[in-house]
Amino acid sequence: MSARPETFRNLDIGSGVRANAARFPDKIAIRQGDRTLSYGALGQRMARVANGVRAAGIGAGRTVAILSANLPEYFEVVAGASAKGAAVATVNPRQTEAEIRAILDDCDAGLVFADPTSAEIARAATDAPLRVFGADYEGWLAKASDSDPGPPPEEWQTFAIPYTSGTTGKPKGVCLSHRSRVMSFFAFASVYGCFGTGDRFLVTTPLFHGGGFAFPMATLFLGGEVELMPHYAPDLLLSMLAEGRHSGTFMVPTQFHGMFDLAPRDQARLSAHRLSSVICNAAPLPEETKLQVLDRFGDGVLHETYGSTEAGVITNLYPHQMRAKQNCAGRPIVGQQVRLLDEAGHAVVRGEIGELFANGPTLFNGYWKRPEATQEAMRDGWFSAGDLARMDEDGFLYILDRRKDMILSGGVNIYPRDIEEVLFTLPGVAEATVVGVPDPRWGEAVCAFLRPDGEAPDAETVLALCRERLAPHKVPKHVRYIDEIPRNVAGKVLKRVLREKAAGTS
């Protein structure tokens, strides 16, 4: 094996920030309300975190954890702690104490960082040392050196461990390497074009989520400005976008629904935005919602991507393709390869349905302490999130459903998204989702859950439209109304919860 050239440099997520701190130290890196943090200050504080974590005896192969709302400290902890090889478990602070304890025990965190709101539940969930943002954290930071923490970690080392949402079971820790995310950052620059030195990126989603962290961290790596919302609310998001100060943002479909529930005169203010890229990911974007986005934001702005925490962004449908390709997730982005396989592992022909496998430089290292789960998700070095898709003759992908969400009724495969797209066109329906429920005759029956928007259509109206637009076996056997469709923080529908709720359907 040949030796590394003398010019070799590891790719680590903090290197971009350190380079930016050297070339424009006074430039604003992060903004939240009246608070700003320059690149120079961010680089210095990252160094203090790195040295403080090392002084606590936590180095390569060890973990720390963070439970926090979106704050500037989030970036300095993740980029700083990982600079000496530690991995940072990014934990959802809105979970129950038992759920948080299970994750902190699973990742074996040797040090925990928390915002003041999350400090109490963090103390209850772990015996590990705790640093609370505010006076306690600032005091700890002041005692640490701001000198260069030394050589960076190997680029394949894990820098972060976000936990999967648990839509189908117990959450798993996803081990992300420095290299995988830096390669993502370069790909983002190529695809979305809103992360440069003249850009300001608005953060609307939680930083503990994979995509929620990756897009703003790409901005900091590439020299742009990150703005964190003080808190999330649909009216505040609309107001900030309407100010016309941002060039890019990442949103999930449920956030669009929240804005579109506001008064039409408020929505009209979106015409003032200067966004060049609105990136949508984490859950399928219904065609009806997509058309609303194009109507309010204008053509030439929306990107719909497909990916996962484990694999990063895999495909993208560009703004100029939005109206030509319906219910489409686009084609693979730079560096990514995909293939669709049947249950026997054979490639399917174009137009047929198969399980989507991806391969590229942004793949994860595996699941934390779950080699069996890692092996189950991989096939010959290719990763699958369990999604079913088809590819058209032009190479565009159409994500149908998760394999586990497919409904088998009377021996026929039914894909819930086909039905959901029809339900979304009904006046009076704000959101719709479909699950399979046990049925003594058919094995599984289709059950539709609807969240009304004003006066809801009655069940017979719903079924009449379905009979008109769908094959008979796809028409729901049950229609249920619900005040709120359960979702995780990424906006993905918790169909497991709905199946449990529908278990009594007769």
Alpha-helical segments (H) within 283-378: 287-297, 371-377
- Which residues, at least 6 apart from 307, have a Cβ–Cβ distance to it below 8 Å? 211, 281, 313, 314, 315
Answer whether 248's CB lies under 8 Å from 204's CB.
no
pLDDT at residue 368 above 60? yes
Lookup: tokens for 353: 């349905």
Answer whether 22's CB lies under 8 Å from 14's CB.
no
What pLDDT, in 10s, does the model give residues 165-206?
A: 654 457 899 999 999 999 999 999 999 999 999 999 999 999
Count Cβ atoms below 10 Å from residue 478 Cβ, excluding itself: 16
Q: What is the pLDDT of residue 169?
A: 56
Report the percent of the chain where pLDDT is more than 70: 97
Q: What is the pTM of this model?
A: 0.85
Q: What is the pLDDT of residue 1?
A: 58
What pLDDT, in 10s, does the model give residues 196-211?
A: 999 999 999 999 988 8
Residue 147 DSSP SS3: coil
Query: What stretches of 440-486 adopt beta strand conformation (E)?
Result: 443-452, 478-481
pLDDT band at 506 (very low <50, low <70, confident <90, very high): very low
Q: What is the pLDDT of residue 207?
A: 95
pLDDT band at 402 (very low <50, low <70, confident <90, very high): confident
Instruction: Please give, one letter per residue, the 3-state secondary structure of 382-414.
Output: EECCCEEEEECCCCCEEEEEEHHHCEEECCEEE
CA distance 245 to 102: 41
CA distance 92 to 213: 13
* Buried/exposed code over 225-258 (b: 16+ C-beta within 10 A; e: otherwise): bbbbbeeeebeebbebbbeeebbbbbbbbbbbbb
- Quick one: 216 exposed, middle or buried, by C-beta within 10 A (0-12, 13-18, 19+)? buried
CA 131 to chain centre: 26
Q: What sign has the CA pseudo-torsion 499, 501, 504, 506?
A: negative
Answer whether 263's CB lies under 8 Å from 270's CB.
no
Count Cβ atoms below 10 Å from residue 467 Cβ, excluding itself: 12
